[in-house]
Amino acid sequence: AQSVAQPEDQVNVAEGNPLTVKCTYSVSGNPYLFWYVQYPNRGLQFLLKYITGDNLVKGSYGFEAEFNKSQTSFHLKKPSALVSDSALYFCAVRDTSGTYKYIFGTGTRLKVLA
Amino acid sequence: DGGITQSPKYLFRKEGQNVTLSCEQNLNHDAMYWYRQDPGQGLRLIYYSQIVNDFQKGDIAEGYSVSREKKESFPLTVTSAQKNPTAFYLCASSPGTVSTEAFFGQGTRLTVV
């Protein structure tokens, strides 16, 4: 079965420091991977995706993600965190077995401390 | 503006009542999805539809029903059979291609009173 794991419930980082939010996946075939951000009582906003090609993907608001096929990981990164980055982050994989569902991780709460 | 609209934003349900959550999109997307969000559990798929007049159960379909009579609309009914309906419900849509991301509505918070 295809799945996504976000091993950290919460990540704390000081403002101005680099941040990493971890995601690992399990899929059959080529992975289609996504990162979303959610602010309180709002829907999910798309940040970036990996489909094919360059392993470093750049997205919105200065975020980027590194795809690592051997480690089956797709970690979200940002060189310098802002307090306004504090939110809930979800990693997702597209089911390519025929249903094309999006399968989400349990989410990681990012807290950026001033 | 193109987008996906969920209504109402807040909904209160009495025990034993059915309620319907609205989801409308004007993005011309073929696929639509309903997710339930509970703290610490991420997003769980309730139902999805890849095309008009067709839909499939997701991981937690019991106590819910949907219809897809129009491409732009995918309403979710929370029935009295759903024993713990208090949650945040998210609707999403996507085009037919596998490489595209899903677009989400702003959610409906349902509370049982």
> Which residue's entry shows tokens 């802002």?
A82
Q: Would an 8 Å CB–CB cutoff place A113 in contact with chain B?
A: no
> Helix, strand, or coil here: A84?
helix
What is the average pLDDT across A11-40?
95
d(CA A93, CA A32): 6
Task: Decide: A34 and A89 in contact? Cβ < 8 Å.
Answer: no
d(CA B49, CA B68): 7
- Would you state the pLDDT for residue A6? 96
Residues in B closer than 8 angstroms to A37, CB to CB, are none
What DSSP state is assigned to residue B48?
E
> Which residue's entry shows tokens 């089956």?
A72
Residues in A closer than 8 angstroms to B94, CB to CB, are 100, 102
Nearest chain A Cα distance for residue B43, angstroms: 6
> Helix, strand, or coil here: B36?
strand
Contact flag B106-A49 (C-beta cutoff 8 Å): no
Tokens of A12: 């704390």
Mutation for A interface: B6, B10, B37, B43, most A CBs within 10 A: B43
- Would you state the pLDDT for residue B99? 86
Mutation for B interface: A25, A60, A101, most B CBs within 10 A: A101
- CB burial of B40-67 (b: ≥16 within 10 Å; e: otherwise) equals eebbbbbbbbbeeeebeebebbeebbbe
CA dihedral sign, ordered A96, A92, B73, B67: positive
Nearest chain A Cα distance for residue B42, angstroms: 4
Q: Would an 8 Å CB–CB cutoff place A74 in contact with chain B?
A: no
**Model confidence at B2, in pLDDT bands (50, 70, 90)?**
low
What is the average pLDDT across B79-106?
92
Looking at the DSSP assignment, which residues form a beta bridge with residue A76? A21, A65
- Would you state the pLDDT for residue A41? 86
| The amino acid at A2 | Q
Task: Decide: B85 and B96 in contact? Cβ < 8 Å.
Answer: no
Instruction: Give the DSSP H/E element, type plus range, for residue B93.
Output: strand B87-94
- Would you state the pLDDT for residue B1? 56
What DSSP state is assigned to residue B102?
P
d(CA A31, CA A96): 8
Beta strands B87-94 and B76-78: pairing type? unpaired
Tokens of B30: 């073929």
> Mind listing the pLDDT tens digit for each residue in B5-40?
999 999 998 888 999 999 999 999 999 999 999 987
> Which residue's entry shows tokens 């060189």?
A79
Nearest chain B Cα distance for residue A17, angstroms: 26
